[in-house]
Amino acid sequence: MSDVGKASIGDAYFDQLFAGSDDPWAFKQRWYERRKRALTLAALPRERYARIFEPGCANGELSAELATRCDRFVGCDTAAAAVELARERLSDFPRAQVMQARLPAQWPTGRFDLIVISELGYYLILEDLHDWIERAIGSLTEDGQLLACHWRTPIDGCPLTADQVHETLQQRLGLNRLYSQTDSDFLLDVWGRDTLSVAQKEGLR
């Protein structure tokens, strides 16, 4: 597995994206993005979580959906403009917090029962992805879950592909894969320590 450029994508890349647009990936306009958000939310095995963490929250479109599914939400991004947009998007959620941080060094304190890594892993070199995974494992609760979703088409300048990111997560998380979807456009997986299905938890099997 080779890393393009041998370094994770730096903050300046994301600062430049948000300097030119408040929605550089067209999260609001594209049906692809709206559909992917709906599938992401539907893939979550639980109806509600206590505390969700979304690193790389961008302008907060997915964040606002996740905030309806938890008691407390924490998001972060490296770009100051993205943080301000996400805070505005989440202004109706008093228990939502968005911070500017460079991960994994500035990983938030506390434990989370869901961590969502969406369209993020391929910006990292493999060594940094390993560090992210270790921090994520360390901050998950005993019954915590991790969701990952990534665009499958290789991106120029990005060190990793979606397939490489999800293969690495599967190898290093040490968790059960609870849900997996291989779309022609993206990969969507959920891992956790629980082995019971949604139906089993409701006594249907």
For residue 203, pLDDT over 60 is answered with: yes
Domain 30-201 sits in CATH at 3.40.50.150
Spatial neighbors of 114 by CB under 8 A, at least 6 apart, are 44, 46, 49, 51, 52, 53, 70, 144, 145, 146, 147
Supply the pTM of this predicted model: 0.93
Mean pLDDT of the chain: 93
For residue 162, pLDDT over 60 is answered with: yes
* Sequence spans of domains, the chain: 30-201
Q: Which residue has the tokens 């849900």?
A: 179
